[in-house]
């Protein structure tokens, strides 16, 4: 799915102009497309009076607004135009303004006509935010702070053109004064702000509107971020032929759990089972056997030597190596509830040095690496790390705030510096590859996942999808999407507050059913 930063969209539009589609035509098409979607929304929302106020800036987003005002007026709407910062500055916007000015629409300049603008806001069914679009940077200043406050206070439905004003298109950050939209019509393609938080919270529901730019104009502009639609995720999932047997869907080995955290091993294994792996072997410290045997009836069990504290012992390594050399496994997961000590470090190092299949390292596996990241240099297999922000900060020796300030950049730099696949969890989980500078940004999930155990569920899911033969990057992206989607399903059924990681596991069956039908 297209997810385009502002400079990429400018390059796409330049390509379209070179193909013979003028900037004026693009503005006309954009305004017409937004107006068309507004009319559809009005029908869906049963807006009573078809009364709109279109608030226009000085640039090309304002030019789109002038076209929208004209198109709505021609459709019988009562339209008022508010000039946010005076007359238009760009050539295309001036032309669009002159075409609109010929029609009998009240037009006010906010700075000089505040009372009339306030009255228009109070009587409108719909406000159209066409002030900045994707060109905003810096800080919202007066009089726009006051203008946006009045727009946000209005009872009318608010539709933003491309990006709500005051939102930074590429980073997902937003000014405190930014417009809060009920709907945002994304022109030509999604932008990072449409899915990155906190900006996404201001966008409302997203509608993507094509303006006729040829696909070739997009294809020649390199995409630095991408996301997946549900249909695209469905196309990634392994095909399950009618004649298939369990050997066709891989075998994942999970090395998880300790006496203090047996639930981590259970949740990772159960999630792997729910994600379609043909076989799942759960390896755990031997004192957990009775607990695991009672709860994991569908998995193979591999109790291993443990320390006095109830975590994996280095004495388990010979058995592990025989297992890894048997070629029966197609993916490995290690780290959930593992505990951090010299023995578990030795176990992790042995797995990374001897595994021949992808290894997903989660939780305490990452905490072990934060004390000795050089372990990765001797890895003989593809490695995926799945840190949450605090684990990521610990791994890199920086502050959690530094991670959160540049999640995409941090994930990509870490992946390419250390030669690993990186799944940086959190709102808008990102997946970065050591081989490709394009970063996946996930758009599913909710804060109900902010509970211990959610990461264990994700790790098991990722291991199962890797085990079924998906290319590692695709397996990670699909797993992250499905994990978030299942959480969204549960939140709708049970609430974000009350949902548990085990509820997410149980919802996976319903999620996969939707893809199979």
pLDDT per residue as tens digits for the range 137-184: 889 999 999 999 999 999 999 999 999 999 999 988 899 999 999 999
pLDDT higher than 90, residue 220: yes
pLDDT per residue as tens digits for the range 60-112: 999 999 999 999 999 999 999 999 999 999 999 999 999 998 888 999 999 99
| pTM reported for the whole predicted model | 0.91
pLDDT per residue as tens digits for the range 455-507: 999 999 999 999 999 999 999 999 999 999 999 999 999 999 999 999 999 99
Let me know: does 218 contact 9? Beta carbons within 8 Å.
no
pLDDT per residue as tens digits for the range 348-387: 999 999 999 999 999 999 999 999 999 999 999 999 999 9
Start-to-end C-alpha separation, the chain: 22
Per-residue pLDDT at 172: 84
The whole-chain average pLDDT of the chain stands at 96
What is the side-by-side order of every strand in the sheet holding 430-432? 225-226, 439-441, 430-432, 421-424, 383-385, 359-361, 331-334, 251-255, 279-285, 300-304
Let me know: does 283 contact 499? Beta carbons within 8 Å.
no
Q: How far apart are CA 233 and CA 516, in angstroms?
A: 12
Q: How far apart are CA 474 and CA 469, in angstroms?
A: 10
pLDDT per residue as tens digits for the range 284-333: 999 999 999 999 999 999 999 999 999 999 999 999 999 999 999 999 99
The proportion of the chain whose per-residue pLDDT surpasses 90, expressed as a percent, equals 94
Per-residue pLDDT at 405: 87
Question: How far from chain centre, in Å, is Cα 194?
Answer: 10
pLDDT per residue as tens digits for the range 102-147: 888 999 999 999 999 999 999 999 999 999 999 898 899 999 999 9
Type and span of the H or E element at 421: strand 421-424
Q: Give the chain's domains with CATH numbers.
A: 6-222 (3.40.50.10260), 230-385+417-516 (3.40.1190.20)
């Amino acid at each position: 799915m297209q997810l385009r930063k502002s400079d990429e969209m400018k390059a796409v539009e330049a390509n379209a102009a070179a193909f013979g589609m003028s900037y004026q035509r693009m503005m006309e098409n954009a305004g017409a497309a937004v107006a068309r979607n507004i009319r559809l929304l009005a029908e869906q929302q049963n807006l009573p009076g078809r009364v709109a106020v279109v608030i226009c800036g000085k640039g090309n987003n304002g030019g789109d607004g002038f076209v929208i005002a004209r198109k709505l007026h021609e459709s019988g709407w009562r339209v008022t135009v508010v000039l946010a910062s005076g007359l238009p500055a760009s050539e295309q916007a001036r032309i669009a303004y002159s075409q609109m000015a010929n029609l009998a629409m009240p037009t006010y300049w906010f700075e000089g006509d505040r009372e009339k603008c306030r009255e228009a806001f109070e009587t409108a069914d719909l406000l159209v935010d066409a002030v900045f679009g994707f060109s905003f940077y810096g800080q919202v200043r007066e009089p726009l702070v006051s203008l946006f406050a009045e727009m946000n206070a209005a009872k009318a439905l608010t539709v933003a053109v491309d990006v709500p004003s005051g939102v930074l298109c590429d980073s997902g950050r937003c000014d405190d004064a930014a417009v809060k939209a009920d709907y945002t019509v994304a022109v030509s393609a999604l932008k990072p702000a449409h899915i990155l938080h906190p900006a996404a919270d201001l966008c409302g529901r997203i509608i993507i509107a094509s303006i006729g730019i040829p696909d070739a104009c997009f294809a020649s502009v390199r995409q630095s971020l991408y996301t997946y639609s549900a249909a695209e995720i469905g196309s990634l999932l392994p095909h399950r032929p009618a004649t298939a047997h369990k050997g066709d869907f891989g075998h994942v080995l999970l090395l998880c759990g300790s006496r203090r955290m047996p639930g981590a091993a259970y949740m990772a294994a159960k999630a792997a089972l729910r994600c379609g792996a043909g076989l799942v072997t759960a390896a755990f410290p031997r004192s957990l056997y009775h607990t695991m045997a009672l709860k994991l009836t569908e998995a193979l069990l591999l109790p291993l030597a443990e320390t006095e504290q109830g975590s994996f012992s280095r004495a388990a390594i010979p058995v592990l190596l025989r297992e890894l050399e048997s070629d029966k496994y197609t993916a490995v997961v290690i780290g959930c509830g593992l505990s951090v000590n010299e023995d578990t470090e030795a176990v992790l190092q042995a797995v990374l040095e001897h595994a021949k299949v992808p290894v997903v390292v989660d939780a305490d596996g990452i905490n072990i690496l934060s004390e000795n990241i050089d372990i990765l240099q001797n890895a003989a297999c593809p490695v995926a790390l799945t840190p949450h922000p605090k684990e990521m900060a610990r791994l890199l020796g920086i502050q959690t705030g530094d991670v959160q300030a540049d999640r995409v950049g941090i994930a990509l730099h870490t992946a390419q510096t250390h030669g690993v696949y990186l799944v940086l969890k959190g709102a808008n989980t990102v997946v970065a590859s050591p081989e490709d500078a394009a970063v996946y940004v996930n758009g599913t999930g909710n804060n109900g996942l902010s509970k211990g155990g959610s990461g264990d569920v994700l790790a098991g899911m990722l291991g199962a999808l890797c085990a079924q033969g998906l290319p590692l990057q695709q397996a990670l992206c699909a797993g992250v999407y499905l994990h978030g989607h299942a959480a969204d399903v549960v939140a709708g059924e049970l609430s974000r507050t009350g949902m548990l990681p085990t509820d997410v596991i149980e919802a996976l069956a319903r999620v996969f059913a939707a893809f199979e039908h």
